[in-house]
Structure 1
Amino acid sequence: MGLLRLRHRPGHRRNAPSPQRPGSHHPALPLERDPEEPGGGPMTGAVRACANYFRVHPGYHRLLTALMEKYRRSGRPAGWVTLSDASTAECEAARALFGRPFEPPLRFRADQFEEALQQTRFRGVSLKAVLEDYFGTELKTRREVRAGLEDRFAAVLDRAMEGRGETTARWLEDLRAGRGSGYTLLRREATRDPGQTGTGLMGACAALDRLERGDGRPVRLAVLSAGATSDPHALDSGTLGGKLFLHLLAYRSGLDYPASAEKRDALYYQNGILCDSISSLVTQVGLILETEGGEHPGYALFRQRREPVTLSLASLSALTGVRSPCGRAFLVENEMVFAQLCDRADHFCAPLLCTSGQPSVAALRLLDLLTASGTALFYSGDFDGKGLSIAAQLWRRCPDRLMPWHMGPEDYEKCRSEVALSAASRALLQNCAGTPLEPAARAVEAGGTAGYQELLLPWLEEELLKKP
C-alpha cells in the first residue's frame, strides 16, 4: 500500500509538527505538491493528492463511504465506523492510516480518522474537502439538502406567481402550502430540474389565465398552447407542462386528476378546450339536431331519410340543442349491433345512438344535449365488467333520464355465453354497486360468464319498432 503515516524514531514522543517557513521542507512531507488547478492553492493540491491516494487504494472506499454518511447525517465525523465484514484490504488500509493492526469487525471512532490523517504526509487537509474530491460532490448535511430543495421549490413558485389570474394564484398558494392538485409532481420535478419545471409551470399558468380571459368560445388545445407559450405542443398531455395544466384544470373544476384518456378529454371539454374534436365521434339515426336558426338542414335530410350520421365533437360544438321527435332515444354499446338494427331504421319509432364502447367526449356531449331537452334515454350493453361499468357510468351522469334497456338478470340469462369472466372483468362489476345495474352485476358474478348484446337483437329490434 505504500508508506502513509509519518515515521518516528523509537522512544520519541509524537508532537504536533512545527510551523513551516515559506520555502522550507518538512522532512516527512513530500518535497513537491501535485500540479495545481487554475485558481487553486497549495492546499487544493494536497486535497487532490490525498483523494487520489485513496482512489488507488480501494481498501479505503467503504471507510470513506461510511464517513460521508456521518457528515450527511450530522455535519461532522461523529460516532463510530464499523465494518463487520471488513476485507483484508480494508483492514490493511486502516492499519496503514492508524498505525495499529485491525481485524473484522473493523471499528474506529469517526473523528479519529481525521486525527490520524493529520499525522500523515497529507496533514493540514480537511477530511470534508477530501471526501468531496473523492466522491466528486459537494458534501451537505441532510438538513442542508432539504433546505436547498425548499429554496428551489419556493423559487419556482415565486417566479410563476408574478402577474397571475385569480384561479392560478389560488392554485399556486395551495401548492406553496403543500396541498393542491399537482403538488407531488411539481415537487419531484423541481428537485430534478428546477429550470424545466419552472418553464412547464409558467406555461400551464399562462394557458389557464389566457383561457379565463377569453370570450368563452371553445378553443383547441394546440391553439391555446401556442398562444400561451409559442409552442403548440407545450401542453400535450405527455409533457410536464401538459400534466401540470391538467392538474390546474382539475383544481379549477373541483375534480380529481383524470385517470384515463376519456376522463382527460372530458375535463378538457368541460373547461372549453377541444383536444380531439375531429376523431371524437358518435353515431346516431333519427335525432333532431338544432342550431340557432332551427333544425340543421344537412342533418335534417339524414333524419328524413332515416340514415345514420356520424357526428364529431367539432360538429356537436356548433349545435344549440338536440332532441328526439318522440321524447325517447335508445343507446347501444356495440357498433355491429347498431349496424344490424339500422337495417330496419325505416321503421324505427325512436332514434338510436351508438357509443362504440367507452363513450367518447362527443358521445357524452350528445347525451348532455339530450338530457337538457328532457329526452328519456334507454341504454343497452354487454353483460361483463366493462359493459356493465359503462352503463353504471352513464346512469351516474344522468340518473334522472337514463334507464337500463334489457339489462336485467332475466336478460342476462337470454344472452349468456360460455366465455368465462376474467379477474379484471369481475373486479369492474363492483362499479355497479348502488346503481340500477347492481342486480345484473350480481347475476353475472354468480354466473361467471359474459353475456353479449348480439344475442338480444330480437328483443331490442322489437322495442325499436313498437309504437309508444
Structure 2
Amino acid sequence: MTNTRGFDEPPLDTETLAFLTRPGLRRLWAAARTRLERNGLEPAGTIRLQHLDVEEREALSLLQARPVTGPTATIRLPDLDARLRASAVGRGLVGTLTELGPPLIDRRAARDAAAAERTRLWSTAEAAMASTSLADRPWAHQWLEETRRTGTLTRQPYGTALTTITQAIQTLATLFPGTGPDPTPAAWGRGELATRTTGSAHGLDDGTLLARLVLRGIALAQGAVFPTDAPGRRALWRRASVTPDEVSSTVLTYGLRPRGDTWQETALRERAEYHLETHLTLRELRILQLELPPHTRVHVCENPRVVEAAADAGCTAPLICTSGSATTVVLTLLDALAATGCVLAYHGDFDWPGIALANRMMQRYGAEPWRMGAGDYEYLATRAELQGVPTLPLTGVLVEATWDAELAPAMDVLGIALHEEAALDLLLGDLA
C-alpha cells in the first residue's frame, strides 16, 4: 500500500529542499523510512545512528535545533515529527519523506492485504473443488494441500493465482470424472483438453505453471513419481489418457538406413538412397523400429545447412541435425540411436553457446568431437583471415570445452566466432 498523505501540502521551497537533501541527513531519512514502513506509517519509536561523522553531526544539530556532539545519536520519531511540523518544512515526518521520495509503503497493511488474499484464494479453491468430482478423492485434497504448502501460487498476482488454481481443479475434474474411486479417464488430446478447461489450446503447454500443477495432480492420482524431464511428462500425460502433441515438432535426419522390413524402415532406406532428407516426428519415433547396424557412426550437426549441403553432394554417412539446442524430439532420436550401439560424433558452432551445446552432447552420449578441437578452430580462423572473410567477434562468457582443454583458451585469444558453415567443406569430406 503506497502512502498518499502529504500531497495536498505545497511543495517545499528550494532552500528547504536543499537542506533536507544534504548528505549529512541521508542515513537519518533511510532509517526513518524503514521504521515508518514497519510501523504502519506512524511516527513512533526511536532510531539510533552510530559512527556519525562531522557532516552528519552538523546536519542533525541544525535539524533538531540542539547540538549533537558524540558519535551516536538517538532520535525519537514523535519528536522529529513535531520538529518538522514546527520548522520551515511545515509538515510531519510522513509528509517530508513523501516529498523527498520514493513513496512510502505501509508494509503492515501490505502484509495484511496479502494474508487476506491468500485466505480468499484457498477458500475459493476449496469451494471450487467441493463442487466437482474431486470432492471425495483423498489424493485431490492432498494435491491441494501440497500446492498450498509450496507457496508457488501465492507468489503470483492474485488474479493469476486464482485463475490458475481454478483451471487446474477443472482440468483434473475433467480427467477424473464420476463418483467411483478412480474411474478410467476419458481420452483427450492435450490441446483439446486445454481448450475445454482454459479456453486456449496452449493453456496446458509444457513448462506452464498450470501444466505443472495438473501433472502433479495426475501423479498423485496414479501413484506415480513426478517426472523431471519432457519424456517423463509426456508419459504421465498418457497415463491420464491425454495425448500430447507429437507431430508438430520434428528432427531433421539424413542417410538413415535402419534394419527392418516394415514400410517405415524401407521408406527411410529409400530416401537415403535418393539423397533425401527426412523430418521425423515424435509420433513416428514412437512407432518406428529404428535400429542401425552395430557401431554405426552417426554424425550430429547443429545447422540445417550442413544437411542440405550433404544431400546436394550425395553424401552417404548418416547425419542428424539438432537445429540449435536439441529439443525433445531430437533427444528422443539420439537416445534411441545410442541405445542400439551407434557411435555419435558431434560438430557445432565455435562460439560460447555452441560450446555449451556441445558439452551437453558429449556428456549425455559420450559423443566424439567432430572437427571440434583447438587445432580445427585455429585452422578455420586462420583460413578465414587469409581469405579475407569478414569475422564475427566472440562475445559472452567463456565456456570450457569438456573434450579439449585447449579449445576455450584458443578461442579466447583469437576472439573470433565461427559458425558451422565455416567448416562446411571439411564436414562434407567426412560425410562423403
TM over 0.5: yes
Report the CA distance between 1:438 and its aligned residue: 4.8
> Is 2:379 the counterpart of 1:410?
no
1:173 aligns with 2:145: yes
Matching of residue 151 in structure 1 with residue 125 in structure 2: no
Matched position secondary structure for 1:58: coil
Residue 448 (structure 1) aligns with: 415
Q: Which residue of 2 aligns with 1:43?
A: none
Counterpart check, 1:372 vs 2:346: no
Deviations 1:320-358 (A, max 9, x none): 43435762211122222222222343x52x312222222
Q: How does 1:191-206 map to 2 (within 5 A)?
A: 191-192=158-159, 195-203=162-170, 205=172
CA contact (8 A) 1:332 1:355 kept: yes
CA drift of 1:407 comes to 0.7
Give the CA deviation at 1:246: 7.9
Matched, 1:58 2:25: no
Deviations 1:387-422 (A, max 9, x none): 2222112223323xx221111111111212462434
The Cα of 1:241 is off from its aligned counterpart by: 3.4
The SS at the match of 1:382 is coil
Q: Give the deviation of 1:297 after TM superposition.
A: 3.6
Secondary structure of residue in 2 paired with 1:378: strand
1:221 to partner: Cα distance: 2.9
Aligned residue pairs total 341
Mapped partners of 2:337, 2:269: distance in 1 = 17
Provide closer, same or farther for how the CA distance between residues 170 and 327 of structure 1 changes in structure 2, counting only shifts above 3 A: farther
Q: Which amino acid aligns with 2:113?
A: V
Letter in 1 for 2:269: A
Q: Secondary structure at the match of 1:252?
A: coil
Is it true that 1:319 corresponds to 2:288 in the alignment?
yes
Residue 331 of structure 1 aligns to a residue whose secondary structure is strand
Q: 1:240 to 1:372 in 2, by over 3 A?
A: closer
Does structure 2 conserve the Cα–Cα contact (< 8 Å) formed by 1:378 and 1:404? Answer: yes
What is the deviation of 1:363? 1.7
Distance 1:71 1:411 in 2: 61
Find 2:302's aligned residue among 322, 333, 336.
Answer: 333
Q: Secondary structure at the match of 2:267?
A: helix
* Whole-angstrom CA distance in 2 between matches of 1:306 and 1:444: 35
Choose the corresponding residue for 2:265, options 296, 309, 318: 296
What is the match of residue 54 of structure 2?
none
Among the aligned pairs, what percent are the same residue?
Answer: 27
Report Cα offsets for 1:86-117 as digits up to 9, x if no partner. 6xxxx6xxxxxxxxxx444557899xxxxxxx
For residues 289-335 of structure 1, the C-alpha deviation after alignment (integer angstroms, 9 at most, x for no partner) is 57895753433321343432222334333324343576221112222
Please give the TM-score of this superposition, normalised by the length of structure 2: 0.61
**1:354 is aligned to 2:326:** no
| Bigger Cα Rg | 1
- C-alpha change, 1:457 and 1:232, in structure 2 (3 Å) is closer
Match of 2:192 in 1: 223
Partner of 2:22: none
Conserved? CA contact 2:350–2:418, under 8 Å? yes
**1:12-32 Cα shifts (integer Å, max 9, x gaps):** xxxxxxxxxxxxxxxxxxxxx
More divergent stretch after superposition (407-416 vs 301-310): 301-310
Q: Provide closer, same or farther for how the CA distance between residues 288 and 245 of structure 1 changes in structure 2, counting only shifts above 3 A.
A: farther
- Comparing 415-424 with 389-398, greater Cα deviation is found at 415-424
Check the 8 A contact 1:382/1:453 in 2, yes or no: yes
Helix, strand or coil: the match of 2:330? helix
Matches within 5 A, 1:428-443: 429-430=398-399, 432=400, 435-436=402-403, 438-443=405-410
CA distance in 1, matches of 2:310, 2:202: 42
Contact 1:206–1:229, Cα closer than 8 Å, also in 2: no
Instruction: Please report how far the alpha carbon of residue 378 of structure 1 lies from its aligned counterpart in structure 2 after TM superposition.
Output: 0.8
Using a 3 Å threshold, how does the CA distance of structure 1 residues 83 and 340 change in structure 2: closer, same or farther? same
* Counterpart residue identity of residue 123, structure 2: A
Matches within 5 A, 1:16-415: 58-59=8-9, 73=39, 80=78, 102-104=86-88, 141=109, 144-155=112-123, 158-159=126-127, 163=134, 172-177=144-149, 179=150, 183-184=151-152, 186-189=153-156, 191-192=158-159, 195-203=162-170, 205=172, 220-226=189-195, 232-236=201-205, 241-242=210-211, 252-254=226-228, 269=234, 271=236, 277-288=246-257, 293=262, 295-324=264-293, 327-345=296-314, 348=316, 350-399=317-366, 402-415=367-380
What CA distance in whole angstroms lies between the structure 1 residues aligned with 2:310 and 2:161?
57
Matched-pair contact (CA < 8 Å) for 1:283–1:308: yes
CA deviation profile, 1:192-250 (whole Å, cap 9, x unmatched): 4664243234256558879x987999x74303324655753432579763575588899
TM-score, normalised to structure 1, is 0.57
- Distance in 2 (CA, whole Å) between partners of 1:451 and 1:193 is 44
Give the aligned partner of residue 423 of structure 1: 395
- The answer to whether the 8 Å contact 2:380/2:423 transfers is yes
User: Which residue number in structure 2 is paired with residue 132 of structure 1?
Assistant: none
Assess, with a 3 A threshold, how the Cα gap between structure 1 residues 190 and 420 changes in structure 2: closer, same or farther: closer
Aligned residue identity for 1:145: A
- Work out whether residues 300 and 321 of structure 2, in 8 Å CA contact, stay in contact via their aligned partners in 1: yes
